[in-house]
Amino acid sequence: NAGVTQTPKFQVLKTGQSMTLQCAQDMNHNSMYWYRQDPGMGLRLIYYSASEGTTDKGEVPNGYNVSRLNKREFSLRLESAAPSQTSVYFCASSQGQGWSSYEQYFGPGTRLTVT
């Protein structure tokens, strides 16, 4: 049982390049989330997927797109990377359905640098 896995662990992009961050969970959770964390700050929600087939914007969605590929996988795409997107990206999942009472499980993070 691996929990929440993220790939890649590290990535360096040039401004304007695109990339997709992958996330998968093996806990049969309904809900999945993408956060970013800038140095010395708390996490900010980018997008979330309450259940398979649905996605919604979080606090800071601009510059990102997401795909809930199936129940296990939730990807985050940067179409044209900017230096302001340099951050650590965390994926999380939770059981959902009465979601507010369920804890979130986080992946190890992807450290992205945009030059």
Partner 1 sequence: DAKTTQPNSMESNEEEPVHLPCNHSTISGTDYIHWYRQLPSQGPEYVIHGLTSNVNNRMASLAIAEDRKSSTLILHRATLRDAAVYYCIRRGGTGGFKTIFGAGTRLFVKA
Q: Does 104 bind partner 1 (CB under 8 A)?
A: yes
Q: Does 31 bind partner 1 (CB under 8 A)?
A: yes
E strand intervals along the chain: 4-7, 10-13, 19-25, 31-37, 43-49, 56-57, 64-68, 74-78, 87-94, 104-106, 110-114
Binding residue for partner 1, selected from 21, 66, 90, 112, defined by CB under 8 A: 90
Rounded to whole angstroms, the maximal C-alpha distance in the chain is: 41
Dihedral sign (CA 80, 31, 27, 60):
positive
Q: Which residues, at least 6 apart from 4, have a Cβ–Cβ distance to it below 8 Å?
A: 23, 24, 25, 27, 91, 92, 93, 105, 106, 107
Q: Does 92 bind partner 1 (CB under 8 A)?
A: yes
Binding residue for partner 1, selected from 1, 2, 39, 41, defined by CB under 8 A: 41
Q: Does 73 bind partner 1 (CB under 8 A)?
A: no
Decide whether 26 or 59 has the Cβ nearer to partner 1. 59
Q: Does 8 bind partner 1 (CB under 8 A)?
A: no
Q: Does 64 bind partner 1 (CB under 8 A)?
A: no
Q: Does 34 bind partner 1 (CB under 8 A)?
A: no
Residues of this chain that bind partner 1 (CB under 8 A):
4, 31, 33, 35, 40-45, 48, 50, 56, 58-59, 90, 92, 99-101, 103-109
